[in-house]
Amino acid sequence: MVLDKKLLILEDDLLTLSKILDRLATLEQEQPYEFSTIVLSDYIQVEDYVNHNPKAQFDVILLDRDCKLGGSFHILDIERFGAKKVIAISSVPKWNEDARKRGVKRVIEKDFLNLDEFADNVVKEIEIMIRGSILKNLKKFIKNSRNLTS
């Protein structure tokens, strides 16, 4: 059985993105799930393709703040998608604090001087989130199976 995990990455820096994707590729090879990954690089795309899309659903969202168009990825409807699915990844502490004020608990401050360590930490956090959701779903499955046989 193949498990699919949907990732939304809101990041405009290609070097940062390449480091994260490289580690996600390694993680995907080591796990029983595959990633369906959407990467958006500007806030207009977030508004058009995510916020206004009734079918959009994600297991994990990486949320940078600034984008090349001068707008903000924080336009994302965090409340709709669930703050517990978001990892704030800005290099600016104030922007990560703004995400916290909207309910985001997971924050990994981007360090442009050490992107390798940053990307390692981001993917470790994604792995923790995904394993937690798999265990939660497995417990539900076992509980429902027991109810069916009772």
Structural domain range at position 100: 3-149
Total of domains in the chain: 1
Distance CA 8, CA 11 (A): 9
The count of residues in the chain is 150
Confidence of residue 1 (pLDDT cuts 50, 70, 90): very low
- What is the rounded average pLDDT for all residues in the chain? 90
More confident of the two residues 135 and 90: 90
How far lies 133's CA from each of 18, 24, 47, in Å? 25, 17, 27
Distance CA 101, CA 97 (A): 6
pTM of full prediction above 0.95: no
Answer for the pair 81, 10: CB distance below 8 angstroms, yes or no.
no
Distance CA 11, CA 73 (A): 8
Residue 134's CB is within 10 A of a number of other CB atoms, namely: 16
The DSSP string of 114-145 is: -HHHHHHHHHHHHHHHHHHHHHHHHHHHHHHH
Report CA 84 to chain centroid distance, whole Å: 10
pLDDT in tens, 64-115: 998 878 889 999 999 999 999 999 999 999 999 999 999 999 999 999 999 9
Question: pLDDT > 90: what percent of the chain?
Answer: 77
Looking up residue 127, the CATH number of its domain turns out to be 3.40.50.2300
Residue of 53, 111, 51, 61 lying closest to 83 (CA atoms) = 61
